[in-house]
Amino acid sequence: MPFGSLILKWDERKGIDIIAKYPENIESKITRKTLIQIYNMHQYLIEEGVIWLHLDAINISSYFSGKNNPYYFILILNILENPEEFEEITRRFGQELLNNIEKEDLKDFLAKISKELNII
């Protein structure tokens, strides 16, 4: 079961910017270096899609919306979970995010997802 989620956006001046997170302390589990790795992996693929990243203490499933509207939806998983098993969920929530980005509070969006995924 995922233990957190993030919404990121690429900003030309700031680089990767965390615009929403759940739970609030999830940033302590993920470093700036990891966020840059996620960005770089998506940039290598160039187009919309999902990538997985295995790190020392966590696994990550990340959806990138594409260059025209550069948002990232990230599920943070524990080390025992297989990120491939979360590909469809990550894609679905990433696309739902894009469809509602202008009309929905992002914290509420992540809280709703967290409830559905049983993130504490």
What are residue 32's DSSP bridge partners? none
Task: Round the average pLDDT of the chain to a whole number and report it.
Answer: 84
Q: For the chain, how many structural domains are there in total?
A: 1
Counting other chains too, the contacts that 105-109 makes at CB distance below 8 Å and 24 or more residues apart are: 106/7, 106/19, 106/20, 107/20, 107/22, 109/7, 109/20
Query: In this predicted model, what pLDDT tens digit does every residue of 59-110 receive, in sequence order?
Result: 899 999 887 778 889 999 988 888 889 899 999 988 888 887 776 688 888 8
Q: Where are the beta strands (DSSP E) in 27-117?
A: 49-54, 58-64, 71-78
Cα separation, 93 vs 81, in Å, equals 18
Q: Domain containing 25 — which CATH number?
A: 3.30.450
pTM over 0.75: yes
DSSP 3-state of 26: helix
Expressed as residue numbers, the domain containing 77 is 4-117
